[in-house]
Amino acid sequence: MAAVTTSTERSLNKLAIVGVLIVTVIFLAPIYWIASTAFKPRNLATTIPPTVMFQPEISPFVKLFTKRSQLRTAPTPEQYAAAPWWERLVFDGGEKVVRSGRGEVQWSGYPSRFMNSLIVAITSTVLAVGMGTFTAYGFSRFKVKGEADLLFFILSTRMLPPVVVAIPMFLMYRVVGLNDTHWGLIILYTAFNLSFSVWLMKGFMDEIPKEYEEAALVDGYTRMEAFFKIVLPEAATGIAATAVFCFITAWNEYAFALIMTNRRAQTAPPFIPSQVGSGLPDWTVIAAGTFLFLLPVAIFTFLLRNHLLRGMSFGAIRK
Amino acid sequence: MTQIELRGVQKYFGAVQVIKDLNLKIDDNEFIVLLGQSGCGKTTTLRAIAGLETIDGGDILIDGKPVQHLKAADRDIAMVFQSFSLYPHMSVYENIAFPLRATRKSKAEIDSEVRSVAKTLQVTDLIDKKPSALSGGDMQRVAIGRALVRRPKAMLMDEPIGALDAKLREEMRAEIKRLHIKQGSTTIYVTHDQIEAMSLADRIVIMHEGVLQQVGSPDEVYSRPANLFVAQFVGSPVMNVADAAVADKATSASVTVGGAATGFEFPHALLSKLNGHAGGKLALGIRPEGVIVRREAAEGFLPVETQIVEPLGSFDIVDLKVGSKMLRARTKSGFVSGPGEKVFVRIDPAQAHFFDTASGKSLEVRL
């Protein structure tokens, strides 16, 4: 459709672009701040005014991944010369890498916390989206007795701040032995995301004409086959959008992770700030940890961006 | 060889009965059109035969075996939908192959069958395209191809060309007819378009509010409508229907409409054929081509005044005021110059229909 644009419309357009740019800068500034701090030498991280131009360093990441202790005495030149390049970076910061009796480098807590985050977020996302998709399909396609009430009940699980139930959950988890386990967090996050996933997927399922499945049913397929071969591919956009939202929620969750886990199953969000606690805070290490932590969500969202854009405009998937 | 039979089929949506005691027998290779307004139960009937709706009473038999308890997949029937009939994420080839993939056919078999169907429907060039790249007509061609490829016992079509524009609809209509003659399969076709029904059907089934009104060849439902509904539903322009009073004039019968001073002259035999209904409430039905208009006065013609003239190209429709009633007549184009003209009119007794006003049923009077 050819639209006739007037000069006022054109200047309004320009104004809108300027507005979008300003908003973008506001949103990206903290991310730039974290990313730049992650590559700064420690002494430049907290300068006032802030340092903008600097020689980027990898040392914050080395420190992030290794277990370190304060140096009482400076390393001898022989020690310094024998150390690999990354260990010298730690020496330069006035610390040394902790090694086991057999000389193996000790990892910091970060890699395992990061893995925990991945395990918990991915599993709970798969569960929440999977169950949500099935549930939504059921609500969308079949006459369910008390459908409106059930859907409201599902939504009502989100009607209070989750952290309100943190203490009872903690006590119950202690009884059943789910404290500090992956499954404990996975179950919690799946439960948080499920209502959201059901409601979002219901909207997408309603958009898929039922003629598609009916055609498949008449063509000799069972309902299950029709669901997997026809409905799922058609719902891909909705599934992607729902998955991104669920993943972000699970990935970023802080309060429950802090309360329910401490070591084995602890995720990255409560771990990263805990590094502040010992000695003088090394903001570059915290920034490096945060920077790496941002990447999975950024990559996931980037990969699914086409689906997301369509998925955001609910109700307008196809014409 | 596929016969389909409906015996006393009932269907409710909640408290509303959408199919009321439907009985119908469809022969092998027959092209049946279910015709009716939207909401008359025709699509529900089709979906019940396909197995997409359960029925609340009666039997559906395919080749003598009751199938109402079978799932759609087990009835070996193909269906073409009005819209959304192709899977958007599959190519044309995959769409046509889809029903075959449910069977245990080999890849090579599937390939040859898909290609032969594509050739029959002239969509070979489009085989790698996605449905979104097709025109409406090609989409429905592919949809018909997908239904044909499995060589099902019967084809069901739910307004397959209803969403196309008028010109394309005409083309596709001819194509469906050609295809049916060539391939020959028992076909049930649902439409609200009587032209489609007339041109395609071996027999037309007219439904209204869940009740079967009449089953017959296109000629039968047009020239011998069973009741007032069919009479006014089939045919365009619509049949004139007017309350009529019949009087005995010794050598002839007189039929008065709209309380006019004089009645139309009918053969005396009308009285005996009305079989005692003459005194009761009657309606006269006459198609516009059965209203004969002359410019000069003649024996048996009533003088009337023209009201509105609608030129329709090959003919005109002229509204004539007879008493308080408006009768529409079909004339040669330009026969009447305009409104307010004095003309003379007669009703062709051979084309007249008489209905019992109370029941709406035709009195089956043939003169």
Average pLDDT over residues A165-176: 92
The pLDDT of residue A319 is above 50: no
Q: Do A219 and B98 make contact, defined as CB atoms within 8 angstroms?
A: yes
Q: How far is B300 from chain A (nearest CA, A)?
A: 59
In this prediction the pTM is 0.77
- In degrees to the nearest 10, what's the CA dihedral of B70, B76, B77, B80? 110
Q: What is the rounded CA–CA span in Å between residue A215 and residue A73?
A: 78
Mean pLDDT of chain A: 86
Q: What is the CATH number of the domain that holds B121?
A: 3.40.50.300
Q: Specify whether B146 is located in the same domain as B215.
A: yes
**Three-state SS string across chain B, please?**
CCCEEEEEEEEEECCEEEEEEEEEEECCCCEEEEECCCCCCHHHHHHHHHCCCCCCEEEEEECCEECCCCCHHHCCEEEECCCCCCCCCCCHHHHHHHHHHCCCCCHHHHHHHHHHHHHHCCCHHHCCCCHHHCCHHHHHHHHHHHHHCCCCCEEEEECCCCCCCHHHHHHHHHHHHHHHHHHCCEEEEEECCHHHHHHHCCEEEEEECCEEEEEECHHHHHHCCCEHHHHHHCCCCCCEEEEEEEEEECCEEEEEECCCCCCEEEECHHHHHHCCHHHCCEEEEECHHHEEEECCCCCCCEEEEEEEEEECCCEEEEEEEECCEEEEEEEECCCCCCCCCEEEEEECHHHEEEEECCCCEECCCCC
Question: Is the pLDDT score of A27 beyond 80?
Answer: yes
Name the residue in chain A with its Cα closest to that of B158. Answer: A211
Q: How far is A272 from chain B (nearest CA, A)?
A: 43
pLDDT in tens, B279-313: 778 899 999 999 999 998 888 899 999 999 999 98
Cβ pair B99:A211 closer than 8 A: no
| ipTM attached to this prediction | 0.78
Does any CB of chain A come closer than 8 Å to the CB of residue B13?
A: no
The residues, ordered by sequence, that sit 6+ positions from B45 with a Cβ below 8 Å of its Cβ are: B6, B9, B11, B19, B22, B34, B190, B207
- B114 and B82 within one domain: yes
Nearest residue to B366 via CA among B265, B270, B235: B270
Whether B139 contacts chain A with CB within 8 A: no
Domain that holds residue B253: 240-356
Select from B274, B244, B276 the least CA-distant residue to B260: B244
8 Å CB contact of A216 and B98? yes
Answer whether A211 touches B (CB < 8 Å): yes
**B77, B30 in Cβ contact below 8 A?**
no
Scan residues 176-195 of A and list those with Cβ closer than 8 Å to B.
Answer: none
Least CA distance to B74: which residue of chain A?
A220
Report residue B279 as tokens: 């005194």
Which of B52, B81, B99 is facing A220, going by the closest CB pair? B99
d(CA A173, CA A180): 9
Q: Which pLDDT value is given to residue A65?
A: 87
Could you tell me the CA-to-CA distances from A299 to A110, A304, A305 in Å, in that order? 20, 9, 10
Structure token digits, residue A88: 């010298």
In a domain? residue B361: no
Residue B279 falls within a domain, yes or no? yes
Q: Which residue has 């869940």 as its token pair?
A: B210
Number of neighbouring beta carbons within 10 Å of residue B27: 14
Could you tell me if residue B366 is inside a domain?
A: no
Whether B328 and chain A come into contact, CB under 8 Å, resolves to no
Per-position pLDDT tens, chain B of length 367: 689 999 999 999 988 999 999 999 999 999 999 999 988 999 999 999 999 999 999 999 999 999 999 988 889 899 998 877 788 889 999 999 999 988 888 999 999 999 998 988 888 999 999 988 888 888 888 998 888 888 888 999 999 888 888 888 888 899 889 889 888 889 999 999 999 999 999 999 999 999 999 999 999 999 999 999 999 999 888 999 999 888 888 888 889 888 888 889 899 888 888 877 777 788 999 999 999 999 988 888 999 999 999 999 899 999 999 888 899 999 999 888 888 899 999 999 999 999 999 888 998 888 8
Q: Flag whether B307 is in a domain.
A: yes
Between the CA of residue A313 and those of A203, A210, A240, B84, B105, what are the distances in Å?
Answer: 11, 21, 13, 21, 41
B10 shares a domain with B148: yes
What pLDDT does residue A316 have? Answer: 40
Shared domain for B185 and B49, answered yes or no, is: yes
pLDDT at position A279 is 64
Last residue of a domain, one of B226, B252, B278: B226
Q: Is the pLDDT of residue A318 over 50?
A: no
Domain end, chosen from B182, B202, B226, is at B226
Q: Name the residue of chain B whose CA is nearest to A231's CA.
A: B87
Domain boundary among B204, B226, B248: B226
Q: Where are the domains of chain A?
A: 110-312
Looking at beta carbons, which residues of chain A come within 8 Å of B50? 214, 218
Q: What is the mean pLDDT of residues A143-170?
A: 89
CB contact (8 A) between residue A217 and residue B51? yes
Q: Which residue has the higher pLDDT, B180 or A3?
A: B180
According to CATH, the superfamily of the domain at A110-312 is MetI-like (1.10.3720.10)
| Shared-domain flag, residues B13 and B65 | yes
Model confidence at A317, in pLDDT bands (50, 70, 90)? very low
Chain A partners of B81 at a C-beta cutoff of 8 Å? 211, 214-215
Tell whether B247 and B350 lie within a shared domain.
yes
Residue B362, Cβ neighbours under 10 Å: how many? 20
Same domain, B197 and B300: no
- Read off the pLDDT of residues A233-269 as tens digits, 9 standing for 90 and up: 989 888 988 999 899 999 999 999 999 888 888 998 9
Residues B65 and B186 in one domain: yes
Q: Is B179 on the interface with A (CB under 8 A)?
A: no
Q: Is A212 an 8 Å CB contact of chain B?
A: yes
Q: Same domain for B169 and B296? A: no
| Domain count of the fold of chain B | 2
Largest CA distance in chain A: 81
Q: Which of A215, A233, A318 sits opposite B81 (nearest CB)?
A: A215
Considering the domain architecture, whether residues B114 and B155 belong to the same structural domain is answered as yes
Q: Are residues B9 and B68 in the same domain?
A: yes
**Cα separation values, A150 from A138, A154, A242, B79, B324, Å:** 12, 6, 20, 34, 61
Residues contacting residue B356 through CB under 8 Å, at least 6 positions apart: B277, B280, B281, B282, B283, B363
One domain for residues B296 and B206: no
Residue B77 included in any domain: yes
Interface subset of B 30-59, CB within 8 angstroms of A: 50-52
